[in-house]
Amino acid sequence: MPQDSSQHRHPNPDPGSPRPHRVVVIVDENSNPFELSCAIEVFGLRRPELGRDLYDFRLCAAAPRTRMRDGFFTLTDVAGLDAAETADTLIVPNRPDTDTPRTPDVLDAVRRAHARGARLVGFCSGAFTLAEAGLLDGRRAACHWMWADSFRARFPGVRLEPDVLFVDDGDLLTASGSASALDLGLHLVRRDHGAEIANAVSRRLVFAAHRDGGQRQFVERPVPDIADESLGPLLAWAQERLGDPLTVTDLAARAAVSPATLHRRFRAQLGTTPLAWLIGERVALACRLIERGEERLDVVARRSGLGTAANLRARLRRETGLSPSAYRRRFGPAAGEPLSV
């Protein structure tokens, strides 16, 4: 299940507010362009197919000219660092030169944002920025496996999760690597706007709609060497039958392998277990049913394969931090404009 905390909840954007939730990215000297592009793709693009803007997105920097990683290009004509003062969500700099101290102005802007209750996000080496600002002591965080040892040595007070895609610790969120920035970004969209909107955004990105934070950073064979060992056909088959009483044994039988072999393939190809994947897909389906207006919990539980209303309540609260009624109020049909996709 996702790396989540109920002790540090952040407010979700209010669909009735006069402006969308504002996401601001601080671009620092030697920042990595890929994570910047991920933020722009998820939070910065207009979504006319959804009928409304999801976020108000801005870039800012401490200097008028900011040299990106390895001198790939120089960023100009973005807002000054004062734009960070209006952020509801602030994405902090991620620099591969993790031993180089961040500038005091940047760290001060990050600390001020945290003090006034903004949600802070670090992609990849962005965890170093949050830790250097003194905000991660006693908190959970993720960073790229390549920097795990040096991160622990410099910041022993941080509870580093060494082998997960991302960590959601409420108002402080960190992703382990470049690709997992997209996973964390879609997780935030799902938290802010619900599963249906997140699925629409992921389809636009042609990206997996749901990889939870607890999945491993590294899988042994991201592209299978043997075509008939790919899990793709099995996953598609299972997703069409989530309301059926599917078990891991059923999945193994469908794949014509033992449960132990299936477990190894899920770990190798998806970085998770068959049961965790199945539960995650069922919870995501339950969320979509609630968002589409189904009010009968027993029907949602049955159609999603979660069985009982009690199990639905427990799983939904663990996944989203919300009860079904609270989830409906926040993401149901009355919460915003209907999807047009």
Looking up residue 109, the CATH number of its domain turns out to be: 3.40.50.880
Q: How far apart are the first and last CA of the chain?
A: 28
39 belongs to a structural domain:
yes
pLDDT score for 6: 33
152 belongs to a structural domain:
yes
30 belongs to a structural domain:
yes
312 shares its domain with 259: yes
236 shares its domain with 200: no
pLDDT score for 7: 35
CA distance linking residue 25 with residue 262, whole number of Å: 41
CA distance linking residue 193 with residue 289, whole number of Å: 14
258 belongs to a structural domain:
yes
45 shares its domain with 165: yes
211 belongs to a structural domain:
no
Handedness of CA 323, 53, 293, 243 (dihedral sign): negative
pLDDT digit string (tens) for the chain, length 341 residues: 334 433 333 344 444 456 789 999 999 888 888 888 889 999 998 888 887 889 999 999 988 888 888 878 888 889 999 999 999 999 998 888 888 888 899 999 999 999 999 999 999 889 999 999 999 999 999 988 888 899 999 999 999 987 788 899 999 999 987 778 888 999 999 999 988 888 888 877 766 555 554 444 444 444 444 444 678 889 989 999 999 999 999 999 999 999 999 998 988 887 788 998 999 899 989 999 998 888 899 999 999 999 999 999 999 988 888 889 888 888 888 655 443 33
165 shares its domain with 247: no
71 shares its domain with 168: yes
CA distance linking residue 38 with residue 50, whole number of Å: 19
229 shares its domain with 200: no
* Containing structural domain, residue 340: 225-270+273-341
147 shares its domain with 260: no
26 shares its domain with 157: yes
CA distance linking residue 63 with residue 104, whole number of Å: 13
29 shares its domain with 130: yes
182 belongs to a structural domain:
yes
13 belongs to a structural domain:
no
pLDDT score for 210: 52
Closest CA to 1 of 243, 279, 237: 279
CA distance linking residue 35 with residue 126, whole number of Å: 10
CA distance linking residue 107 with residue 116, whole number of Å: 15
Q: How far is CA 121 from CA 118, 169, 242, 274, in A?
A: 10, 10, 33, 29
CA distance linking residue 98 with residue 94, whole number of Å: 8
For residue 238, give the CATH number of its domain.
1.10.10.60
Domain count, the chain: 2
191 shares its domain with 114: yes
Tokens describing residue 299: 């029907």
75 shares its domain with 187: yes
234 shares its domain with 193: no
214 belongs to a structural domain:
no
